[in-house]
Amino acid sequence: MFALPLHRKSIQSLCLLTLGFLCFLIRPQHLNAQTFNQIQFVIGTGGDDLRGDSSATATLLAPNGSTLQVITLKAQNQSGWGNNSSHTVTAALSPARAASAIGHVVITLTSHNGFAETDDNWNVQSVVATLSNGGSGAMQFINGSGSPLARLTHSAPTLTLTPLPIVPPGMFDQIEFVIGTGGDDLRGDSSATATLLAANGATLQVITLKAQSDPGWGNNTTHTVTKSLTSPLGLFGIADIVITLTSHNSVFETDDNWNVQDVVVKLSNNGSGTKQIMHAFGDPMKRLTGSDPRLALPLPPIMLGPVCAGGNNGCTNVTTYHNDAQRTGWTSTEKTLTTFNVKPATFGHIATITVDDQVDTQPLVVNGVTFITTENNTVYALNFWTGATVIHHLGAPVPTPLGCGNNGPNVGINGTGVIDPVAQTFFVDTYLSENGTPTHKIHALNLSTLAEHASSPVTVAATHSVQGGGTFTFNATYQRQRSALLLANGNLYAGYGSFCDWGGAPILAAGSWD
Amino acid sequence: MYLSSVWMSGYGVAADTESNLYFITGNTAAGTYNSATNISESAVKMSADLSTVDSFFTPSDVNGLDGGDTDYGSGGLMVVPDLPGRLPHLAVGAGKDGRMFVFDRANLTGFHPTDVPSHVAVGDCWCGPSYFTSGTAAAMKQNVVSSGGHTLMLWTPGPSTPVPTLTQVASAVLSFNTDQDGGFFTSVSSNGLEPGSTVIWAVGREEGTDHHVTLYAFSATPSGATLPLLWSSPHPAGFWPNTGGNANLVPTIANGRVFVPSNKEVQIFGLTANPLPLKQPFLPSTNLTALAVTGAQYWGTVKSIAANRVVLELRDGRELQVDISPAIEQGRSTEPQVGQSVIVTGKLNTDGSLQADTVYRAKGKSLWGEDRAH
């Protein structure tokens, strides 16, 4: 029962029925009953201080206006809050309260004037209040800022703050993009958007990353864009994100080209409980142009219900081509699929993951994360447990090597890579066009981040005297890495052939990895 | 220098538990096979440090295989898992001509005028075998799955004196209809030895005008001499438009799901009790650019051969005279056979004949590419 694929819409209720660490989604009607026993204020003071002999309080009011609790932010005997300082105050909520029980929060300044003193004036720049249970399960409750947000004086000593809309835990109302631009900028007169798509292809929201009126994004810069979601989404609410470049050319201008290096996407709940759902990168990840202005980034489809009974320890891992070094192709720990339920009534298509090129390799699976590699030298890690997607584009592939038609239009990662689950490393051979020169490289990628290890990649090169005379020198222009990689005896083995029998090929290359 | 290669239609180099490596090599230039210095078309057992060929087997017709581009190395060599007390230790592998040889891993037997190892016919194999154990803990049985041509076959080790043999248990014919090369790939899933849990999965080659592929599930428990079909994908399990390369697609089974790779997508199959919304075909994120290729190129059927002059019948019925000497000199030619589909590239002479730089076997007529004169 654990591995039943669940319908997207049924997650919230099923999460209660199933169990465990995956269960971060809770029924909304239960949320109203969720209570918090702690509130934390982070208050920024601007260009006018809160004097040492003044005091400040925060009053929690019920929706009907009645006072629930008065919290001391600064007592009269505490030191003053200087200009341009930030102070954090944590207080118990007594009794514990639901977020919806608090209608407003009022911050009040009280002057306690000494002889010849006049009333204090205090510039409040920012107020962030967070509800939690002893510090865990934090939910941002109030978030206000301005310059100043309010100037509290004798005649206007209070600031009334309204809580943020209550978003249930497990749902997200904010999306953040962190986008790295590479060696070709996003021009000042161009605009860029991110389109969020649902699993059925419907557009959920179009987010402006850079408006035409915003300054350009220069070479090798990083920009962060945070936007509200028009309606809160669950962790798996987004199926695809498409980043689109639009050129707005003046008379003599040609279309803009923009190198996108990195895309990190995070969802948060009122700015808290941040979940990173994607990290895609490459050099560049993609060059957007007038004729090819879109970068499509897939997110994994829902595969909820614990992926494997017993958690990760109960997972079936397929770390190498045909399951093992003997190449049996046998998954001998399959608990769900049998000859009794693999039939039209109960078995069928449940999802499609779209990737950027032909897949000549076998998908690999570790702890419920699926690893896919393409002929465009792109590696995908899709985590059905957390919704996270990591994509690493390892470089430009070689188009139609030697005119040989035995391949797709590109040759990149042609042989299935291999995963070392102990070293948490994914090894792949890429076929790269480096300034027009074909090159084979062996990459060692971190299994969680797909980042290269310190000494990775290694360019494949070999020279060997041949029995019977002569010397063979590995020439990547001719060599094709089609057979799946092998991890055995502490070595990584890669077999090479040639494209359309052009020239010979070394039999095997081997190397150990420290 | 022209050596041999390791490609095996994507199958992996294998290893046993004693740190030896196993693989099959492809073709070399016709007539240059040498059992000491150029072991083309051979099953090879090699030391972990790649310093030593411990043992090998080359079919006695190696020169014919090299000349005809009939690689033994189109298929993978599988190490058959050992069962306690069971000898000999086995390995199996088939190639383009469909002979699946079975080896005693202690000695692959070398190269002899008459082949020493036994073989069975499994169908043309751009493919590789699978394996599972069946029976009870007290009486376990080895099962080898072959996937040549369109036929799935189940084998069990037979008598091993004087050489190991395989005995056919059951088979099934897959429905896909393709002009790609013979064979396909399989995987197996089971919950250990639990009765009724063993399923053999297969992905066929591309077929139809939409070039789709199909996922098949067979019961590993024979009904008579047949492996019963449990299920096959009613809709395409993926697409393979780049037909010049075979769809050597291997399904992965893990945690109740079956992953099927193909062109620009991976489809996922599982129990449909709570179906997921079907994701729509999506924008490709890369513009694929094919290299501009120049030079004459023709697809045709070999009509006659006289020395190095070959007459091709083109798709429109015209005849093309081809001089294949340059291709042979460069080791870039198969030895054409009458009736065979080939692709030739080179330069057109003023008399309309072709001076061929390459001559290779081609896939079936429906998958021929565009002819061009320049």
Per-residue pLDDT of chain A (514 residues; tens, 9 = 90+): 122 222 222 222 222 222 222 222 222 233 334 688 999 999 999 999 999 999 999 999 998 889 999 999 999 999 999 999 999 999 999 898 888 888 899 999 999 888 888 889 999 999 999 988 887 777 788 888 889 999 999 899 999 998 887 776 678 889 999 999 999 999 999 999 999 988 778 899 999 999 999 999 999 999 999 998 988 888 778 888 999 999 998 888 899 999 999 999 998 887 677 888 888 899 999 999 999 999 988 887 655 444 555 555 678 899 999 999 999 999 999 988 999 999 999 999 888 888 999 999 999 998 878 999 999 999 999 876 677 788 999 999 999 888 787 788 899 999 999 999 888 899 999 999 998 899 999 999 998 889 999 888 989 888 877 777 778 788 888 888 999 999 998 889 999 888 776 555 545 555 555 4
Give the span between the Cα atoms of B323 and B354, in whole angstroms: 6
Token pair listed for A47: 């260009």
Q: Which of B5, B218, B262, B360 to mutate to test the interface with A (most CBs of A within 10 A)?
A: B5
According to CATH, what is the number of the domain A27-161? Answer: 2.60.60.20
Yes or no, beta carbons of B250 and A409 under 8 Å apart:
no
Looking at the structure, tell me whether residues B218 and B302 fall in a common domain. Answer: no
Helix, strand, coil percentages (3-state) for chain A, rounded to 5, are 5, 50, 45
What pLDDT score does A251 carry?
83
Q: Residues 319 to 358 of A: which have CB under 8 A from any B CB? A: 320-323, 325-344, 346-358
What pLDDT score does A351 carry?
81
Looking at the structure, tell me whether residues B199 and B133 fall in a common domain. Answer: yes
**Which residue is closest to A4 within chain B, CA to CA?**
B271
Alpha carbon of A212 to those of A215, A260, B194, B269, B348: distances in Å? 8, 18, 63, 44, 55
Q: What is the mean pLDDT of residues B279-292?
A: 36
**What are the backbone angles phi and psi of residue A311, rounded to the nearest 5°?**
70, -160
Burial label for A223, CB within 10 Å (0-12, 13-18, 19+), is middle
Q: What is the ipTM of this complex?
A: 0.85
Q: Looking at the complex, does the CB of residue A247 fall below 8 Å from at least one CB of chain B?
A: no
- CATH number of the domain at B63, please: 2.130.10
Q: Are strands B354-361 and B319-323 parallel, antiparallel or unpaired?
A: parallel
Domain contains B214: yes
In A239-377 the beta strands, taken as DSSP E runs, fall at: 240-246, 258-269, 272-288, 294-298, 330-331, 347-358, 364-366, 369-373
Yes or no, beta carbons of A342 and B360 under 8 Å apart:
no
* CATH 2.60.60.20, chain A: domain bounds: 27-161, 172-298
Give the span between the Cα atoms of A217 and A254, in whole angstroms: 18
Amino acid at B80: V
Answer positive or negative: Cα dihedral of B253, B255, B260, B266: negative
Listed in sequence order, the residues at least 6 apart from B229 whose beta carbon sits closer than 8 Å to its beta carbon are B172, B216, B217, B218
Question: What is the number of H-type helices and E-type strands within chain A?
Answer: 2, 35
Looking at the structure, tell me whether residues B225 and B174 fall in a common domain. Answer: yes
Chain A residues within 8 A of B66 when measuring between CB atoms = none
Looking at the structure, tell me whether residues B255 and B300 fall in a common domain. Answer: no
Using the CB atoms, write b or e for A201-213: b if 16+ within 10 Å. eeebbebebbeee
SS3 B345: strand
Higher pLDDT, B335 or B357: B357
Domain contains B260: yes
Domain contains B374: no
Listed in sequence order, the residues at least 6 apart from A190 whose beta carbon sits closer than 8 Å to its beta carbon are A210, A212, A216, A245, A246, A247, A248, A256, A258
Residue B321's domain comprises: 296-367
Domain contains B72: yes
What pLDDT score does B329 carry?
74
Taking the model in full, what pTM does it have? Answer: 0.77
Answer positive or negative: Cα dihedral of B297, B298, B299, B304: negative
Structural contact between residues B214 and B203, judged by C-beta atoms closer than 8 angstroms? yes
Domain contains B288: no
Yes or no, beta carbons of A399 and B50 under 8 Å apart:
no
Q: Looking at the complex, does the CB of residue A106 fall below 8 Å from at least one CB of chain B?
A: no
Query: Residue B218's beta-bridge partner residues?
Result: B200, B229
What pLDDT score does A464 carry?
77
Distance from CA of B185 to the nearest CA of A (A): 9
Domain contains B372: no
Looking at the structure, tell me whether residues B211 and B312 fall in a common domain. Answer: no
Residues A82, A83, A85, A87, Cα dihedral to 10°: 50
Chain B residues within 8 A of A327 when measuring between CB atoms = 11-12, 14, 76-79, 128-129
| Counted domains in chain B | 2
Domain contains B1: no
Q: Cis ω on the peptide bond leading into residue B162 (within 30° of 0)?
A: yes
Nearest to A57 by CA among A46, A67, A65, A48: A67
Alpha carbon A150 to chain centroid distance? 36
Token pair listed for A362: 């076998």
Domain contains B332: yes
Q: Looking at the complex, does the CB of residue A313 fall below 8 Å from at least one CB of chain B?
A: no
Give the span between the Cα atoms of B111 and B114, in whole angstroms: 8
Token pair listed for A496: 């090479």
Structural contact between residues B66 and B2, judged by C-beta atoms closer than 8 angstroms? no
Q: Looking at the complex, does the CB of residue A9 fall below 8 Å from at least one CB of chain B?
A: no
**What are the backbone angles phi and psi of residue A226, rounded to the nearest 5°?**
-115, 130
Give the span between the Cα atoms of B230 and A344, in whole angstroms: 8
Alpha carbon of A398 to those of A376, A430, A442, B167: distances in Å? 9, 10, 16, 45
State in words which class domain A172-298 has. mainly beta
